[in-house]
Amino acid sequence: MYDIAYVYTSSELESALKGSYDYIVIQDSGLASNISIITGASKAAIAAAIAAAGVAASNFWNPVGWGVGIVGSAVGSKLTIAVVVLIWALGVTLIYAIANDYRVKGKGRIVLPDGTEVDGELILEPR
């Protein structure tokens, strides 16, 4: 039998990422969408989006912040938005943990190797 964490919020996801679960099942569609974008992006694109989000946020009051924000949107507006949302909720370290240490096992309903059925918006498993 597998150790499965069912999460509905970013704080529950944070706890699950710090735990040692065989699978993390994300139930919230918005959170699942942001995580799906992160897991599908390259490390370079994630780093660029994090940097752009950080500089734009800290310099929103001057043209440098505006310029970096425009560059960040060129990286990919969906990725930049997902990174901003997840930085606020989880922090940079956990974003990299998701990108590096987890892969998407499936979406919706899947059957695990032992026959257990799992249903969620997004199912993550450690790499």
pLDDT, tens digit, for every residue of 84-94?
A: 656 655 666 67
pLDDT at 59: 46
Q: Give residue 57's pLDDT band: very low, low, confident or very high (50, 70, 90).
A: very low
Q: Give residue 30's pLDDT band: very low, low, confident or very high (50, 70, 90).
A: confident
Q: Between 29-40 and 63-89, two packed helices, what is the crossing angle to 10 degrees?
A: 120
Could you tell me the pTM of the whole model?
0.69
Per-residue burial over 45-72, b if 16 or more Cβ lie within 10 Å, else e, is bbbbbbebbbbbeeeeeeeebeebbeeb
Q: Taking residues 62-89, what's their average pLDDT?
A: 55
Q: Taking residues 66-70, what's their average pLDDT?
A: 51
Between CA 96 and CA 113 the distance in angstroms is 27
Between CA 6 and CA 14 the distance in angstroms is 12
Q: Looking at residue 60, what DSSP letter applies?
A: T
List Cβ neighbours of 117 (8 Å cut-off, separation of 6 or more). Answer: 109, 110, 111
Count CB neighbours of 1 within 10 A: 7
pLDDT at 56: 45
The upper half-sphere exposure of residue 42, i.e. CA atoms within 13 Å in the direction of its Cβ, equals 5
Between 89 and 37, residue with greater pLDDT: 37
Domain ranges of the chain: 4-126
